[in-house]
Amino acid sequence: MKIALVAYTWSETLGGVERYVFDLARGLLARGHEVHAWCRRRDGDTPGIAFHEVPGLASGHTKYVTFARETERLVKLDDYDAVHGFGRAFAQDLLRIGGGCHEEYLRQAKGRTPGPLWFLFHPKDRALIRLEHEVFRRRCWKRLVCISRRVAEEVHRIHGVPLAEALVIHNGTDLEKFHPRRRAAASGPARILFVGSGFERKGLAQAVEALGRVKGDWRLRVVGKGSAARYASQAARLGIGARVEFAGTQPDMPAEYGRADVLLFPTLYDAFGTVTLEAMATGIPVVVSRQAGSSEVVDDGADGRIVEDPRDPGQLASALEPLVNDAALRAKMGLAARAKAEKNGIDANIEKVVALYREIARGKGRG
């Protein structure tokens, strides 16, 4: 089939949406499909993909609006068996909601209900919400995919889309790239890994506060982009500064998971959070917030722990402390985590998406 992927940024490493698009494209190529990518920004080339640059603004609060208008003008749906859109855009047959609804993000991560005063001082939020509402008002899709049940419920509650029309397909992960063979044997302190850029939304302050209450021998390694000063000061005030390391962004994430014993992911809001599956595929248990869509693939107490309220450091500490102090428990849950990840591999995800492409192509008379 001839497939078009429409995404603002093309990157193998930048973020969860971008990594998914990259993995999907690679999987489509491996299956013999012709892949075209329409994007505004591109971080590197990928052999075998036909890239199409979308003109427009590279910065400013209207850049995504411009991208949506330009792709609507440039991308001809009938030129492809299926056009797959990622984000807030108008030109697609299949729309994947991978970042959730922006209003819900503001409520959960920022503690704000958006209104006129907020929009006055935050024009980017206003532009994104207006664009999102236009996409849903115009119903710019033939099939709608949400990456978690929580996202499907958001689009139902905020935009009135019937739940029966929002197909849930969880993210998948690369089961070879993230594998227990990457685990590095170690004794000594329990190695806790925190992964995420945008430390405030990812719940780093709550993680540090919780670790100040955890009894036992542990070390925390923070991987991701962001200013560490506030959190380093917080750790120092709690008397745990020497046990917290800020590593910045790292190029070899499989190795990062391999050196860890537990993933701590207390996000305040994530439509999914693929780091959960990456850690599980590596064979380490996870402590994840209910506010992450990826908590839907975790069996609490078997392959990880789910914390209902990530803003409550007591809940986080209670979930984490047994894992810190019991290596046998970590090993048992790690085995279960790998088994669960094997049911959520990227190949299974791609096969579900390809089936939708074929359905769309048949509807166009191209199948």
pLDDT number for residue 56: 82
Tell me: the pLDDT tens digits for 278-317?
999 999 999 999 999 999 999 999 999 999 999 999 999 9
Assess whether the region 2-172+345-363 and the region 180-341 belong to the same CATH fold: yes
DSSP secondary structure string for all residues of 112-168: ----HHHHHH-HHHHHHHHHHHHHHHHT--SEEEESSHHHHHHHHHHH---GGGEEE
pLDDT number for residue 123: 83
pLDDT number for residue 121: 67
pLDDT number for residue 117: 66
- Per run of 10 residues, the mean pLDDT along the chain (length 367 residues) is 95 81 94 96 88 82 90 94 94 94 86 70 85 95 96 96 96 95 89 95 97 97 95 98 96 96 97 96 98 97 97 97 97 98 96 97 87
How many Å apart are CA 308 and CA 299, to the nearest integer?
A: 13
pLDDT number for residue 367: 67
* Cβ atoms within 10 Å, residue 366: 14
Q: Give the domain ranges of the chain.
A: 2-172+345-363, 180-341
CATH for the stretch 2-172+345-363: 3.40.50.2000
Residue 305 in tokens: 């722990």
Residues in contact with 321: Cβ distance below 8 Å, sequence separation at least 6, in sequence order: 214, 215, 216
How many Å apart are CA 18 and CA 309, to the nearest integer?
A: 28
Residues 173 and 344 sit within 8 Å (Cβ to Cβ): yes
pLDDT number for residue 146: 97
Domain 180-341 has CATH 3.40.50.2000: yes
DSSP secondary structure string for all residues of 324-359: HH-HHHHHHHHHHHHHHHTTSBHHHHHHHHHHHHHH
pLDDT number for residue 295: 98
Maximal C-alpha separation, the chain: 66
Side-chain half-sphere CA neighbours of 256 within 13 A: 23
pLDDT number for residue 61: 75
Residue 38 in tokens: 């329409």
pLDDT number for residue 120: 63
pLDDT number for residue 302: 97
pLDDT number for residue 358: 97
